[in-house]
């Protein structure tokens, strides 16, 4: 076992939970750890390009999911007190006023500092997300890859 490795399954796409995941990931890489974030289901949303990408081969259902789910971190909503977006906007302002890093800054910092982001290919197949729609610099893998990394890590969280 390697005490310098951490994995996070990012299942949630809630603003607050993504923020928690990124704070932990940034903290761990700052302490010299290797960190892998496996984004699955709603968590995949943070890895989507914010702009609409022309794609082929999506079913009507997949187009609907794609249209309903947020693209990138800027559209995420709080898990509680969202109040049609007002609560999330308040949380962003309170965070900024407190001198905290924005969700976007936390995400950019994680990427710059080497947090490895892996998009779950099984979820992508279901939701119809194509690699062209995802940001650059991420990896694609399934549950076996996750389990392989989790076996090497000493902290494995599901968020």
Q: Which residues bind a second copy (CB under 8 A)?
A: 1, 3, 6, 9, 11, 13, 16-17, 20, 23-24, 26-28, 30-31, 33, 40-42, 59, 61-62, 64-65, 68-69, 80-81, 90-91, 93-95, 97-100, 122, 125-128, 142-144, 146-147, 150-151, 154-159
Least distance in angstroms from the C-beta of 101 to a second copy: 10
CB of 50 or CB of 147, closer to a second copy: 147
Closest CA to 33 of 1, 74, 2: 2
Least distance in angstroms from the C-beta of 11 to a second copy: 6
Scanning 69-127, the segments in alpha helix (DSSP H) are 86-97, 103-112, 121-127
The answer for residues whose C-beta is within 8 angstroms of residue 8's C-beta and 6 or more apart is 21, 24, 25, 35, 36, 37, 38, 156, 157, 158, 159
Least distance in angstroms from the C-beta of 156 to a second copy: 5
The answer for residues whose C-beta is within 8 angstroms of residue 98's C-beta and 6 or more apart is none
Least distance in angstroms from the C-beta of 47 to a second copy: 17
d(CA 57, CA 29): 38
CB of 56 or CB of 136, closer to a second copy: 56
d(CA 118, CA 84): 30
Least distance in angstroms from the C-beta of 6 to a second copy: 8
d(CA 74, CA 89): 10
CB of 138 or CB of 159, closer to a second copy: 159
CB of 53 or CB of 100, closer to a second copy: 100
């Amino acid at each position: 076992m390697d005490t310098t490795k951490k994995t996070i399954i990012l299942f949630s796409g809630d603003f607050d939970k993504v923020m928690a995941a990124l704070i932990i990931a940034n903290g761990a890489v700052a302490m010299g750890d290797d960190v892998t974030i496996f984004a699955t289901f709603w968590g995949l949303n943070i890895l989507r390009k914010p702009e609409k990408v022309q794609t082929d081969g999506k079913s009507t259902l997949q187009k609907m999911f794609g249209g309903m789910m947020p693209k990138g971190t800027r559209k995420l909503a709080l898990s509680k007190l969202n109040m049609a977006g007002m609560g999330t906007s308040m949380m962003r302002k309170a965070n900024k006023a407190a001198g905290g890093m924005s969700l976007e800054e936390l995400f950019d910092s994680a990427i710059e500092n080497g947090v490895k982001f892996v998009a779950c290919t099984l979820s992508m197949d279901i939701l119809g997300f194509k690699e062209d729609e995802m940001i650059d610099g991420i990896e694609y893998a399934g549950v076996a890859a996750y389990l392989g990394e989790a076996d090497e890590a000493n902290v494995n969280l599901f968020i």
